Amino acid sequence: MLIAEIMDTGVPSAQPDTPLDAVLALARSTHHGVVPVLADNHLVGIITTADLLREQVRPIPRATTAADAMHPSPTIRTTTTCGDAARQLLGTGHGTLPVVTDRGSLAGTIDVRDVLLALEPPDALLAARVGKLVADHTHTATVDCTVTNGLAILTGDFTDPGQERVTAALATSIPGIRAARTQPVGNRQGEPTRLFGRRR
């Protein structure tokens, strides 16, 4: 499942010159706690409720517009899978992230609750667990994981059989994964793949 299918598109946004009081009103109107800041429909920063609170409690407030309070934010693409989005949210420590198109335009926002609900099917949740474990313990540039009935299909930029064995061993170490099959990126139908069983 892609983020574009579950993201929240009804996101209030501000412009760099929006007064901070108006940004505060926008923040109160959304449950995400994040207000994206746009210039020419492109994301230039975000303001969180924590940013607004910080300004409210300063003895002498310094920010008067959105541009004064905003800060850069990691983004998630509309074409990102839910498993990859889960890893990105966990890796950045953000509860909510903006979702952008390939051209950088704001498409919506995604939060951890949305992703958690999308990962409720067991196979999707297992795929997310495998993807995070592999990303945390290998130097493979990209590994995409799908799981069907306990079989993990790992597609990645593998450079040698040893790298495939390590990746498969990590996958099959997760309860619920009975076997793992590795294949290179761009693998065409009929080309050989490598199947690894779970160690007993």
pLDDT (tens digit per residue) in 51-74: 999 888 888 778 899 999 999 999
Task: Quote the pLDDT of residue 140.
Answer: 63
pLDDT digits (tens, 9 = 90+) for 10-49: 889 999 999 999 999 999 888 778 999 999 989 999 999 9
**What are the counts of helices (DSSP H) followed by strands (DSSP E) for the chain?**
7, 9
Q: What stretch of H or E contains 182? A: strand 179-184
Domain 3-117: which CATH number of 3.30.70.3420, 2.30.42.10, 3.30.70.100, 3.10.580.10? 3.10.580.10
Q: Give the integer Cα–Cα distance in Å for 179 and 197.
A: 4
| pLDDT tens readout for residues 105-164 | 999 999 988 888 887 668 888 898 898 888 888 876 678 899 998 899 999 888 888 888
Would you state the pLDDT for residue 192?
52
- Residue whose structure tokens are 């607004």: 52
For the segment 73-79, the average pLDDT, to the nearest whole number, is: 94
Q: Provide the sign of the torsion angle of the four alpha carbons 31, 37, 39, 44, taken in this order.
A: negative
Two structure tokens written together for 108: 């919506």
- Considering only the C-alpha atoms of the chain, give the largest distance between any 2 of them, rounded to a whole number of Å: 68
- CA 147, 153, 156, 158 dihedral sign is positive
Secondary element (H or E) of residue 135: helix 122-137
Give the whole-angstrom CA distance, residue 21 versus residue 1: 38
Helix or strand (DSSP H, E) at 196? strand 194-197
End-to-end distance of the chain based on CA atoms, in angstroms? Answer: 32
Domain segments of the chain: what residues?
3-117, 121-197
pLDDT of 188: 47
Question: What is the rounded CA–CA span in Å between residue 63 and residue 3?
Answer: 33
d(Cα 67, Cα 19) in Å, to the nearest integer?
9
Tokens of 122: 């067991």
Distance CA 152, CA 195 (A): 10
CATH number of 121-197: 3.30.70
